[in-house]
Amino acid sequence: MGRMTATSRPKRVLLAAPRGYCAGVDRAVIAVEKALEQYGAPIYVRHEIVHNKYVVQTLEKKGAIFVDQATEVPPGNIVMFSAHGVAPSVHKEAADGKLATIDATCPLVTKVHKEAVRFAKEDFDILLIGHEGHEEVIGTSGEAPDHITLVDGPEDVANVTVRDESKVVWLSQTTLSVDETMETVDALKEKFPQLISPPSDDICYATQNRQIAIKELAGQAELVIVVGSKNSSNSIRMVEVAKQAGAPDAHLVDFASEIDEAWLEGVTTVGLSSGASVPDVLVEEVLEWLSARGYGDVEIVKTADESLTFSLPKELRRDLRAEAAELVKE
Ligand code: SF4
């Protein structure tokens, strides 16, 4: 048998594993569902519980109400904080507004908050690598606003100033590109040679694993599709990582219906993955869409096993409706 050329090779999909839901997202989504079951609708949720359109719409149908601020929630109600975490001032707003709270902050974000608090107590200047305006960065910065300076990528390093170059530490948002973050850290280290690194990785296991898997398949695919929402930091990073790893074309889509048939022109191999806030049903829909166009052959590209799970927020074990009613009486 002669060698197969790219054009004679059968069309196929390389499906990344791991992909989709991480432990923090899984916990946050189940927390909203459990709260609705346990306390009844409505359950108010401050900001999107996770950055995924489908998840938010599904929970809305079940009785969750998403608000921008805790101050919008009527007194005597329950408000849940999203997986991205909140600043201490938001906890205070909820208490002032006589709200019972459920904190669905991912434990890996809480870990970064605790690091920020500890280094601030020791009077370090904290250089927080992250994207300006992202909810997680706003929450972490709120833990120690006088000590934290945001560094939004390597090009931002030139503007950074500190009080004492011997007391500087960097921390980061959990959902960044690993490679770009290391570039920023290298630039910071050049400027501040005594810069201290965080005690353990701030970029979480799920973000790292999804980037490793997408790198693995990007070099073999002419087109990479990442399922995820436009405001999902880790999903956007996956598209960037795919392009940097050699994929000639890569796109982020919320749903199969957003895929443009023109992207498939001349494409033999499609790489497919999904961000940490994406339920697998959306990937299955993309697989069906691709199969209908001749890409029925699916090969799994597995680079890691994931088994981490987090227990549900402790507040789900209490009677929060009664607590909220008491708060209004006080
Ligand atoms: S992406 Fe990472 S930090 Fe964010 S919720 Fe998932 S596990 Fe937690």
Instruction: Please identify, by atom number, the ligand 1 atom nearest to the C-alpha of residue 23.
Output: 7
Collapsing DSSP states into helix, strand and coil, what is residue 16? strand
Is the pLDDT at 157 greater than 80? The verdict is yes
Is the Cβ atom of 174 under 6 angstroms away from ligand 1? yes
Tokens coding 25: 């997202």
The secondary structure element, H or E, covering residue 302 is: strand 297-302
Name the residue with the closest Cα to ligand 1, atom 5.
Answer: 24
Is the Cβ atom of 108 under 6 angstroms away from ligand 1? yes
Is the Cβ atom of 226 under 6 angstroms away from ligand 1? no
258 vs 156: CA distance, rounded Å = 34
Q: What is the pLDDT confidence band of residue 2, given thresholds at 50, 70 and 90?
A: very low
CA distances from 169 to 32, 143, 194, 201 (A): 35, 15, 9, 13
Is the Cβ atom of 276 under 6 angstroms away from ligand 1? yes
133 vs 145: CA distance, rounded Å = 14
| Per-position DSSP letters for 185-228, written without gaps between them | HHHHHHH-TTPBPPSS-SS-HHHHHHHHHHHHHHTT-SEEEEE-
Instruction: Respond yes or no: is residue 48 known to be catalytic.
Output: no
Is the pLDDT at 8 greater than 80? The verdict is no
Backbone angles phi, psi at 206, to 5 degrees: -70, -45
Q: What is the pLDDT confidence band of residue 7, given thresholds at 50, 70 and 90?
A: low
Give the sheet arrangement for strand 297-302, strand by strand. Answer: 250-253, 223-227, 269-274, 12-17, 297-302
Is residue 16 within 8 A of residue 213, CB to CB? The reply is: yes
Residue 191 Cα to ligand 1 midpoint, Å, equals 30
Is the Cβ atom of 204 under 6 angstroms away from ligand 1? yes
pLDDT digits (tens, 9 = 90+) for 254-295: 999 999 999 999 999 999 999 999 999 999 999 999 999 999
Q: What is the pLDDT confidence band of residue 240, given thresholds at 50, 70 and 90?
A: very high
pTM over 0.85: yes
Where b means 16+ CB within 10 Å and e means fewer, 23-55 reads bbbbbbbebbeebbeebeebbbbbbbbbbbbbb
43 vs 80: CA distance, rounded Å = 7
Residue 206 Cα to ligand 1 midpoint, Å, equals 6
> Pairing state of beta strands 78-81 and 64-67?
unpaired
Q: What is the pLDDT confidence band of residue 9, given thresholds at 50, 70 and 90?
A: confident
Is the Cβ atom of 83 under 6 angstroms away from ligand 1? yes
CA distances from 318 to 64, 110, 328 (A): 19, 21, 17
* Pocket perturbation via mutation, ligand 1, pick of 21, 22, 210 by most ligand atoms within 8 A of CB: 22
pLDDT digits (tens, 9 = 90+) for 81-120: 999 999 999 999 999 999 999 999 999 999 999 999 999 9
Is the Cβ atom of 22 under 6 angstroms away from ligand 1? yes
278 vs 70: CA distance, rounded Å = 25
Residue 203 Cα to ligand 1 midpoint, Å, equals 9
Backbone angles phi, psi at 104, to 5 degrees: -95, 20
Which of 136, 285, 288, 306 is flagged as catalytic?
A: 136
* Sequence letter at residue 73: V
What's the pLDDT at 239?
Answer: 98
Is residue 128 within 8 A of residue 172, CB to CB? The reply is: yes
